[in-house]
Chain A
């Protein structure tokens, strides 16, 4: 199991778009390290955004579910729904924020 919370390949495509926009004409090989850093950073930020949106009690409840070894996605779906957290919107916000910071030069961008 990889060390990412979400799908690395999807994040990779997203970061590729940003890199292409930020550094037009640069060889992708030159940007390999930067790409990996940003994928990791983005994955972290998505995790922070999701779990940071939960209250302390909700977080404890969620930890209990994870500790139980629950593998049923319906359980997770119900949990987030009951917590009032729209996962896709939250991720979308994070991607947008990341994108803007990156393009404005405040992200991990030292190529």
Chain B
């Protein structure tokens, strides 16, 4: 039987569907009557009918009078039952049992678990990926899913080795953001993003390149995103696993917090170039976005003295429909960098073209009309390929196509990078900064190579190992403390429930004792009555015997011993 939930869409339309009409069979309702026009009673009857299934209706017409009579019978029985103390006690005992068991199991009071837990001070429940990931169901969702989340794991591309890919759904943090859109869920969301970061494959390089340099694995320090990507690709599976584990440990040791960002930021996006949504048709590009009150999850790390040693900001890109409306947060996570600060990480990614041209038949979101009123900010800085036609380290066009990066809602990207027309000076400034940063990057890379003598490396490695160990220890201690608190809370709840159950059980016992006492009293009364009846019977019998004896005696007196 379909659940009530399956009728939600019909309800919201305000009109009964044919299916509902058939199910109702006309019961107290006109089959074409709008839901919004129903009385409260009719609505209740409607939902009751659906909830109970169609067996209470017939395809031939209403059974209203029969139902009405049945309700009347039940009502009469209830009234009679209320006057029978013995039955009431019998039902009361069953109720006590049901309540006690239910409370002990927490089955009812905490029925609406997700929302209520979020509002309580109880420890955060353990989250599973499956709790948040949901396959697209509606056409809109499906399209958003396809457009907003690039799923190219099985396509040739960055990580061609199967051992370097994963079927884990990476957009789960976005799902959490959607579900937990309130302050209480902030911690869950941040932790979920951290957890999801563990599983990043497509944007692994993005994360690696943007980690604070002190924390980057050896061999990855100071590399640009593309260099990081190339290095990851060059690793054997075993080496890759080692680096991946290091990365996960680093992420594990991070603390998270929600922060609000304003200003201009560098972003790296995976963009669809046109054609099929396969890896070859995606490219990693960078652009700048002007963020206003953007909530991001900030990863931060501290040293053994508690001093912050670096941060990394991650934002979740919302998925938009064709009109540009946000319809969900299933988009990717991406690292954002303050404009002009860590640009060194992004010098070799092709900049965003001014007017991306979609391929014929391409469902590319560049076709989506962008309402200029939605993005009127003239401070948004475009990147004009005509002014910067040769991105650093764009050595091989084919390689460009094989970029892995983040899955992204390209429509949002398109909207965010809408070029402004009156900021030429900004463009020049931007170009100058960009060139400066590129030079800095080159110098830094060179300096890194020259300065990497073995002793220094060992010293650094030791320091990093120590920092890692401490960070891990702290994370472990933190986790243990959280688990301990969770266990204490669970124990408290269990004790509370047990106490309630005990209280209910005692009440039941008292009721049972009282019933027993009443039964004993009744039994005693019955026995007493029986004894009295017996006594009366005995007295009667004796009286009868006496009378018989007297009669016999009279006869004997009258007739002697029978000898006439």
A-side residues, CB < 8 A to B, are: 1, 3-7, 9-11, 13-14, 17-18, 21, 24, 44, 46-48, 50-52, 56, 59, 62-63, 66-67, 70-73, 76-77, 87-89, 91-92, 95-96, 98-100, 103-104
Contacts and interface: CB of A to CB of B under 8 A. Distances in A.
Interface stretch (B91-99, B177-185, B191-199, B324-332): B91-99
11 contacts: A1-B85, A7-B92, A7-B96, A14-B99, A14-B108, A17-B108, A21-B109, A63-B77, A91-B98, A96-B111, A99-B109
B77 A11 contact: no
Contact of B86 (A24, A73, A88, A103): A73
A92 B111 contact: no
Contacts, number: 124
B77 A91 contact: no
B92 A66 contact: no
B142 interface: no
Nearest to A94: B98
B81 A5 contact: yes
Contacts of A100: 108, 111-112
A67 B77 CA distance: 10
A92 B98 contact: yes
A76 to B, nearest CB: 5
B82 to A, nearest CB: 5
Contact of B99 (A5, A13, A24, A52): A13
A7 B111 contact: no
B107 A96 contact: yes
Given A100-B111, A100-B112, A73 B96 contact: no
Given A10-B96, A51-B74, A72 B109 contact: no
B503 to A, nearest CB: 8
A4 B81 CA distance: 9
Interface residues of B, number: 41
Nearest to B91: A6
Contact of B70 (A24, A56, A98): A56
Given A13-B504, A46-B95, 16 more contacts: A5-B81, A6-B94, A10-B504, A18-B109, A24-B119, A63-B73, A66-B81, A73-B89, A87-B94, A88-B101, A91-B91, A95-B98, A96-B107, A99-B109, A100-B111, A100-B112
Contact of B102 (A67, A76, A95, A103): A95
Contacts of A95: 98-99, 102, 108
A44 to B, nearest CB: 8
B490 to A, nearest CB: 18
Interface in B34-83: 70, 73-74, 76-78, 80-83
Contacts of A66: 77, 80-81, 84, 87
Provide the main secondary structure of the chain B interface.
helix
B507 interface: yes
A31 to B, nearest CB: 15
A71 B107 contact: no
B486 interface: no
B533 to A, nearest CB: 20
A10 B112 contact: no
A68 to B, nearest CB: 10
Interface string B511-542: 10001000000000000000000000000000
Given A10-B504, A63-B77, A100-B108, A88 B84 contact: no
Contacts of A52: 74
A93 B184 CA distance: 31
B82 A71 contact: no
Contacts of A13: 99, 500, 504
B109 A17 contact: yes
Contact of A4 (B82, B86, B109): B82
Contacts of A73: 86-87, 89-90, 515
A72 B86 contact: yes
Q: Which 7 A-B pairs have the closest CB atoms?
A: A99-B108, A7-B92, A87-B94, A71-B86, A47-B78, A92-B98, A91-B98
B116 interface: yes
Contacts of B91: 5-6, 46, 50, 87, 91
Contacts of A67: 80
Given A10-B96, A70-B86, A100-B112, A92 B80 contact: no
B111 A48 contact: no
B103 interface: yes
A88 B504 CA distance: 15
A39 B112 CA distance: 20
B547 interface: no
Given A59-B73, A63-B77, A63-B80, A7 B95 contact: yes
A103 B107 CA distance: 12
A14 B89 CA distance: 18
